[in-house]
Chain A
Amino acid sequence: MSMRRFSLLSLAREALRGHSGWQPQWRSPPSPAAAYDAVIVGGGGHGLATAYYLAREHGMRRIAVLEKGWIGGGNTGRNTTIIRSNYLFPESAALYDHALKLWEGLSRELNYNVMFSPRGVLMSAHSVHDIQSFQRHIHANRLAGVDNEWLTPEQCKAFCPPLDISPHARYPVLGGALQRRGGTARHDAVAWGYARAASALGVDIIQNCEVTGIRREGPGGAVSALETTKGLVRTARVGVVAAGSTSLVMAMAGLRMPLESYPLQALVSEPVKPVFPCVVMSNTVHAYISQSDKGELVIGAGTDQYTSYSQAGSIQILTHTLDAITEMFPMFRRMRMLRAWGGIVDVTPDRSPIIGLTPVPGLFVNCGWGTGGFKATPGSGHVFAATIAKGEPHPIAAPFNLARFETGRMIDEAAAAAVAH
């Protein structure tokens, strides 16, 4: 199936005939075929990207993405869209910077405007400990060729005028780490853009199709088929990319994953004219904020303290978040919360993802992105596709193997910096 190119010209042509000629952006077969070369479980950004790169870079054609709801309806459509790659450890920086480089050309690669907007991500420091930690990041990032720079409080203010840098603030801004290449993107467009491009390469995207069982056969217990609410699907390769539901899916293959699932909330304000030029993250004050193209202030909140599969968190998390936002940006106190929502994030013991093989032959997993997976979407899909296609970990994915929780080779970004992803 060929993909009709999107452009100003195609828009203009369609405008002349009332936009009656647009076709479905991706094919939606009502049910899966009987067999595929590879099946991706989970139609979020990571899963759709995986399918796209499998088709595009590894020549696989008979691929399906099974989604129990609607594509992009999980954490892809529920996050605050922050993109950055200034992670501390070389393994993480390599993974996230791989993604960032793909973000930079993604709209044109997919012929779908995902609105990647490198407006800069500023992480504000509020204590001597923050300064030490951020400067460690900057030293490490520069060595790894990842941009990250230190700003004085005055430079922070110049970069983000709404910031209050008064020394009398409860947590005064003592400086900041800025990644200029970081920014935001339009989350839904990422799912749709990958779906459209994957579909054009022959990938079947099946929505409202829940996986209910994983069949295994042979002496090694290799994957042979998936049971779904839309029938049996035979396949020898399964990539599970199910975020908060990963532990449930993997349990169908008898695997217990080192994951805990928590509700994580976010909110937006009513839209206003441009007032906030960049992304600001403050781990000390617990404030994460940017402004969408539509004009809404997009604000990240925290996870609930207890594990849950409920996509609704508690109101206290929101009030605490707004305490922090209005403390750092007192002029926003008369703004209003328009919409708040929750997603289920799957968290590993070292807060880094798991990408790779599992003890079950033919079963691959990509999960554990916790509170920060959106930024990795293109890179995650890219290296996971290579891992599935070749049956061995892509070099960038290799450190993020499942076995590390047994060997102890952790990649603990959160502990290292007390930084939310």
Chain B
Amino acid sequence: MSAPFRTHQGGRPDRARTLRFTFDGRTYDGHPGDTLASALLAHGVHLTGRSFKYHRPRGILSAGPEEPNALVELDAGPGRREPNSRATMVPLRDGLLARSQNRWPSLAWDAGALTGAAAALLPAGFYYKTFMGPGRAWEKLYEPLIRRMAGLGRAPAEADPDRYAQRYAHCDVLVVGAGPAGLAAALAAARGGARVILCDEQMEMGGSLLSQPGTRIAGLPGWEWLEVALAELRALKVRLLPRTTAFSYGLQNMVSLAELPERAEGPRERLWMVRAARVVLATGAIERPLPFSGNDRPGVMLADAARVYALRYGVLAGHRAAVLAAHDSGYEAAFALQAAGMEIAAILDPRAAPPADLLAEATGRGIRVLAGQGVARSLGGRRVTGLISTGGERIGCDLLLMAGGWTPSVHLFSQARGALRWDAARDAYLPDTAPEAVLCAGACQGSYGLGACLAEGHAAGGGHGAAPGAQPGREPSGMPTAQAVAGAAKAPMAFVDFQNDVQAKDIALAVREGFRSIEHVKRYTTNGMATDQGKTSNMVGLAIAAATLGQEIPAVGLTRYRHPVTPTGFGGLAGRHRGDLFEPIRRAPLHGWAEAEGALFEPVAQWRRARAFPRAGEDLHAAVLRECRAVRQAAGIFDASTLGKIEVVGPDAAEFLERLYVNPWKKLAPGRCRYGIMLREDGFVTDDGVVGRMAADRFHVTTTTGGAARVLHMMEDYLQTEFPELRVWLTSTTEQWAVIALQGPKARTILEPFVEGLDISAASFPHMSVAACRVMGIPARLFRVSFTGELGFEVNVAPDQAPALWRALMRAGAPHGLTPYGTEAMHVLRAEKGYIIVSQETDGTVTPDDAGLSWAVGKAKRDFVGKRSLARPEMRRRDRPQLVGLLPRGTVPQEGAQILASPGARMAEGHVTSAYWSPALDRPIALGLLAGGRERMGQTVYATVMGGAPIAMEVTDPVFLDKAGERVNA
């Protein structure tokens, strides 16, 4: 198969090898080194997409990441469909499958193009002015219709099977952009001994050198110098990252790069987060299109893009080109294309007096220059066939090139909070000063000559001596864009934002309607909000807005440059954090045992906890009843390892806890425990847990499972900011201690034979004791505590020893009826005893008194976190919701049910916080927060039922079982 638009020789692609690819069902060929766009152009294919709003046929506009038109769907099999890919940035590979999008039934014949016929009715912002009725017509009729018309490609339908990676890196110098300026910077920095990372978004390094084979640097032909330079950089151990876009510039020189590695077997994308001592931006510049009628017709292209296709890829984008050159670079493109074999029909230069040297050269080359003329409109259908000049002349061509001047790529500099200044001579915003350690070099600061680029790069890289030399180029000039766009607002179909179909007249309309800020213009017209992020449209739009307002461009302002610089894949940003690695599940040391026992698990914070251990034929409810009964009648064994643990150590440890918890701690004797309550500054309960004093200067603090990190964070926060004078050190020990709870009347009998060096009889080791000892020979901290109301112990041992101890206890306990129980039985058992669970009985609005825990508050304490808030009048009201027990009649209410004073009441007086079937009482029980509840004992209240009659409940004391505490103290 021949590629009719491929030049006979030249260009970077490796012509010795052929790659086959498919676009819209047709198979084409190309070469390694081609992009999808260059390979399509080699076959004369310009029509590659349809625009967003009017579904107009669109061709390839550019040769880079700024491409607004040639967006295609890539399909690499199930889960590997990728919408909105810029054909100009897709490296060609064998078997590549691409499709056009946003068209039906075909790219050439798209029914959606009917909207183009109605374009007069659909100016910028038309949707704000209509579709408001009747009735719900907006959401029922118009909105679904608009949604179907909008969008571009199709979202992937299946989960993506590919891998993604992330890396952090540090370096002395990060160079962004591997054109001449970037290469010179990297060379200078690396020669000076710096650790350097050089990245470039293109598949090949070299930037503009890739399309300048004829240039000479340091005495060598450009491409040869490039080879030598890259070889030297490799030798100097510079990390070279081609196919890598620096897309985000964060605080303190943290730059994020998205790499699309070439190797098929590696990750599909790699996110680099680079902290650089210094950043050199050599990001180049982007050519501006020009607005005229039909400037969006396939075959209308940026002039420099056509030059790049010819010289870098060996592809002529047409046979006969007309060039609209408002800037000198249009001439350079025309001369280069002519040299590559393209016929130049004419150069139309809107400037009345184009530079004499260019005119002379054009004349010498036999190229007609129409000075003082622009393009009135393009001619043709789905491909350009010619143009009418503003002078009324018809010129035939199959390629119409636009050279509207250059926009330096200041995105990253701006993201670095760099200030921009308007440079009238270069007709552009240029980098000024930045708070970060960042330097710019080359075209991104308006320096377009090769010599200047090399010199600036060399200097930015910290180079000494002379920069790699090149012929000084001529200083280019152009017609200011604000002049070049004059009259465009009156022209039909003169596009500024090609993808979003924003016309010059739309921008004028927005200004006319009072949208004066450029941010307003952008939002009202959607100019610059397409997937190209306004790379080709922002400055042109700004110029039209300024012209309409009769102001200078700098007076109109500039829209903010936001990250990412170019759209960046979700997959790479998420990296490996998926599936098992998305917040990895934390598993307690006994998790495996529970799993083998067939436990039902529930997610609790980052953990999975065994909820119950159902036996064959048991459902959750039956298992929970059995487990509860076993604990009450014999003994249960429970994995409490997920409880948070913090070791609080230091001479001021007691004083620190005194300030953090409501309880008094100073008089707590070593070897004793206390139930601690922690408040937030606002006086509401935020966490609780048993705290054991191991020594005068050492506390073993436990927290709730979900609160561990939060409590440690809060402690550190106070220690570092409020109480820095305290000599206290905090260590998270959650994962250093596995905790096995033995609860029930037989607990001591079972445990006693295992304990060495400690008498755990009731007399010498009463409730709320703690001691270091050995259990089955294993160093342990043994707590005598209970969350069930039964005689109970919690054995803390090193996690790797826990499974053996657990099994030994199970064996020894079996004759006594020892039964493993899960979190659900634990919840029931503690509710029978009226013990609260923070975040179930409390919700961030509950004071210690509300929860019936006033007894725990150290009344004599001078201060503690939250104390002042507790003194506020609202916190002392007697009608605050207070914890009560509830005895529902008949059925168990839903947790969260609202409590009513009468069945038909419309105002809630509280809510049910916990509700269970109590095996001990053989009836439903509940806990709730009820307004003034402690004074309402014996009253009947009602729990709401979704879609049913409320459940009557008797208000009672929250302790349903063993009020005297005989069992727990046994």
B524 at the interface (CB under 8 A from A): yes
In the bound complex, CA of A341 to CA of B898 (Å): 40
Segment at the interface with A among B26-34, B146-154, B919-927: B146-154
Question: Do A12 and B121 have beta carbons less than 8 Å apart?
Answer: yes
Is the beta-carbon distance between B844 and A412 smaller than 8 angstroms?
yes
CA distance A339 to B158 in the complex (A): 24
Chain B proximity mask over A128-145: 1 for CB below 8 Å, otherwise 0: 110011111111101100
Cβ of A323 and Cβ of B582 under 8 Å apart? yes
Q: Is B115 in contact with chain A by the CB < 8 A criterion?
A: no
Please name the residue on chain A nearest to B126 by beta carbon.
Answer: A11
Question: Which of B465-473, B573-581, B746-754 participates in binding chain A?
Answer: B573-581
- Evaluate contact between B602 and A295: CB separation under 8 angstroms: no
B139 contacts A330, CB within 8 Å? no
Q: CB of B523 within 8 A of chain A?
A: yes
Residues of chain B in range 680-710 having any CB-CB distance to chain A below 8 Å: 681-684, 706
Q: Is the CB of B911 within 8 A of A113?
A: no
Q: Is the CB of A139 within 8 A of B911?
A: yes
Identify which of A189, A323, A349 contacts B682 (C-beta below 8 A): A349
Residue from B144, B158, B273, B872 within 8 A of A315 (CB atoms): B273
User: Does residue B222 face the partner (Cβ distance < 8 Å to A)?
Assistant: no
In the assembled complex, which residues on chain A have CB atoms less than 8 Å from the CB atom of B513? 22-25
Query: Would you give the 0/1 interface string for A1-26, flagging 1 where the beta carbon is closer than 8 Å to chain B?
Result: 00000111011100100111011111
What CA separation (Å) do A416 and B895 show in the bound complex?
A: 14
Q: What are the residues of chain A within 8 A of B126 when measuring CB–CB? A: 11
Q: How far is the CA of A77 from the CA of B522 in the complex (A)?
A: 12
B822 to chain A, nearest CB (A): 12
In Å, the complex CA distance between A417 and B843 comes to: 7
Binary CB contact string for chain B from 503 to 535 against chain A (1 if under 8 A, 0 otherwise): 001000100111111011001101001010100
- Interface 1/0 per residue, A23-54 and B, CB below 8 Å: 11111100000000000000000000000000
Contact for B155 among A135, A189, A318, A332, CB less than 8 A: A332
- Min CB distance B530 to A, Å, is 8
Chain A residues in 8 Å Cβ range of B523? 77, 188
Q: Please pick, from A319, A324, A336, the residue contacting B575 in the complex, using a CB distance under 8 A.
A: A319
B758 beta carbon closer than 8 Å to chain A: no
Which residue of chain B has the shortest Cβ distance to A106 in the bound complex? Answer: B132
Q: Render A269-313 as a binary contact track against B, CB cut-off 8 A, 1 for contact.
A: 111111100000000000000010111000000000000000010
Q: How far is the CA of A116 from the CA of B844 in the complex (A)?
A: 33
Chain A contact patch, size range: 35 or more
Contact stretch, chosen from B200-208, B248-256, B669-677, B764-772: B248-256
Given A192-B128, A270-B83, A271-B531, the answer on whether A138 and B845 have CB atoms closer than 8 Å is no
| A325 within 8 A of partner (CB) | yes
Residue B80 lies at the interface, judged by CB distance under 8 Å to chain A:
yes
In the complex, identify which listed stretch (A361-369, A383-391, A402-410) lies at the interface while the others stay far away. Answer: A402-410
- From B387-395, B478-486, B563-571, B635-643, give the one contacting chain A: B563-571
A337 touches B (CB below 8 Å): yes
Chain B: minimal CB distance from A241 (Å):
19
Q: Residue among B127, B520, B897 with the most chain A CB within 10 A?
A: B520
Determine whether the beta carbon of A325 is less than 8 Å from that of B840.
no
Within 8 A of B (CB), among A366-421: 404, 406-410, 412, 414-418
B567 touches A338 (CB 8 A): yes
Give the Cβ gap from A140 to chain B, nearest Cβ, in Å: 6
The answer to the question of B228 belonging to the interface, with a C-beta cut-off of 8 Å to chain A, is: no
Within 8 A of A (CB), among B128-153: 128-133, 138-139, 143-144, 146-148, 150-153
Chain B residues whose C-beta falls within 8 Å of the C-beta of A291 in the assembled complex:
147
Tell me, rounded to whole Å, the shortest Cβ–Cβ distance linking A25 to chain B. 5
Are A11 and B130 touching (Cβ within 8 A)?
yes
Say yes or no: A273 contacts B151, CB within 8 Å. yes
Q: Which of A143, A270, A324 contacts B944 (CB 8 A)?
A: A143
In the assembled complex, B562 has its CB within 8 A of some CB on chain A: yes
Measured in the bound complex, the distance between the Cα atoms of B132 and A303 in whole Å is 35
Determine if B603 and A11 form an interchain contact, defined as CB atoms under 8 angstroms apart: no
Name the residue of chain A whose CB is nearest to the CB of B557: A70
Cβ B564 vs Cβ A408 within 8 A = no
B343 within 8 Å of A by Cβ? no
Verify B578–A327 contact, CB threshold 8 A: yes
Q: Does B235 contact A (CB under 8 A)?
A: no
B964 interface residue per 8 A CB criterion = no
Q: Which of B514, B533, B560, B944 is in CB contact (< 8 Å) with A142? A: B944
Q: How far is the CB of B97 from chain A (nearest CB, A)?
A: 14
Residue A158 CB within 8 A of the other chain: no
B214: CB under 8 A from chain A?
A: no
Nearest-Cβ distance from residue A299 to partner chain B, whole angstroms: 9
Q: Is the CB of B845 within 8 A of A415?
A: yes
Bound Cα distance from A242 to B821, whole angstroms: 54
Contact B152 A270 (CB under 8 A): yes
- Interface hits, B647-671 → A, CB 8 Å: none
B90 to chain A, nearest CB (A): 13
Beta-carbon contact of A338 and B533 below 8 Å: yes
The residues in B between 570 and 604 inclusive whose CB is less than 8 angstroms from any CB of A are 570-571, 573-575, 577-580, 582-583, 585, 602-604
- 8 A Cβ contacts from B74-92 to A: 79-84
Q: Is B573 within 8 A of A337, CB to CB? A: yes
* A326 lies within 8 A of chain B by Cβ: yes
Q: Which of B152, B417, B843, B900 has a CB less than 8 Å from the CB of A272?
A: B152
Q: Is B120 at the interface (CB under 8 A from chain A)?
A: yes
- When C-beta atoms are compared, the residue in chain A nearest to B568 turns out to be A337
Nearest-neighbor residue (CB-CB) of A114 within chain B: B128
Interface: B474 (CB within 8 A): no
Choice from B563, B603, B908 contacting A340 with Cβ under 8 Å: B563
B156 close to A (CB within 8 Å): yes
Pick from B148, B519, B569, B907: contact of A274, CB below 8 A: B148
Given contacts A12-B121, A334-B80, A337-B568, contact A273 B148 (CB under 8 A): yes
List residues of A (116-157) whose CB comes within 8 Å of B's CBs.
116-119, 126-129, 132-140, 142-143, 150
Q: Is B887 an interface residue (CB 8 A)?
A: no
Q: 1/0 contact trace for B528-565 toward A, CB 8 Å?
A: 01010100000000000000000000000000101110
Check if B574 sits within 8 Å of A326, measured CB to CB.
Answer: yes
Complex contact A132–B896 (CB within 8 A)? yes
CB of A135 within 8 A of CB of B894, answer: yes
Q: How far is the CA of A291 from the CA of B256 in the complex (A)?
A: 26
A126 / chain B contacts, CB cutoff of 8 Å:
603
Cβ of A101 < 8 Å from any Cβ of B?
no
Assembled-state Cα–Cα distance A207/B579 (Å): 49
Contact present for A341 and B574 (CB under 8 Å) = no
Contact A270 B531 (CB under 8 A): yes
Q: B271 at the A/B interface (Cβ < 8 Å)?
A: yes
A335 part of interface (Cβ distance < 8 Å): yes
Complex contact A315–B896 (CB within 8 A): no
Chain B residues near A20 (CB-CB < 8 A): 512
State whether B123 touches A70 (Cβ < 8 A).
no
Q: Is the CB of B271 within 8 A of A407?
A: no
User: Interface code A158-173, partner B: CB below 8 Å = 1, 0 otherwise?
Assistant: 0000000000001110
Tell me if A212 is interfacial: C-beta within 8 Å of chain B. Answer: no
List 12 A–B pairs whose Cβ atoms lie within 8 Å, in order of A's numbering. Answer: A7-B130, A112-B128, A127-B603, A127-B604, A143-B900, A271-B151, A271-B531, A324-B582, A325-B574, A331-B79, A339-B529, A410-B874
Known: A117-B139, A323-B574, A327-B579. 19 other contacts (CB 8 A): A11-B121, A23-B513, A107-B138, A111-B132, A136-B898, A139-B911, A140-B908, A269-B570, A274-B144, A291-B147, A295-B152, A312-B415, A315-B254, A326-B574, A331-B160, A334-B79, A339-B529, A349-B681, A404-B874
8 pairs of A and B residues whose beta carbons are closest in the complex: A415-B844, A136-B896, A24-B514, A295-B151, A408-B872, A330-B159, A408-B874, A70-B517
Q: Measuring CB to CB, which residues of chain B are less than 8 angstroms from any residue of chain A?
A: 52, 79-84, 120-121, 123, 126-133, 138-139, 143-144, 146-148, 150-160, 162, 164, 166, 248, 250-251, 254, 256, 271, 273, 415, 417, 505, 509, 512-517, 519-520, 523-524, 526, 529, 531, 533, 560, 562-564, 567-571, 573-575, 577-580, 582-583, 585, 602-604, 681-684, 706, 839-840, 843-845, 869, 872-875, 894-898, 900, 906-908, 911, 944, 946
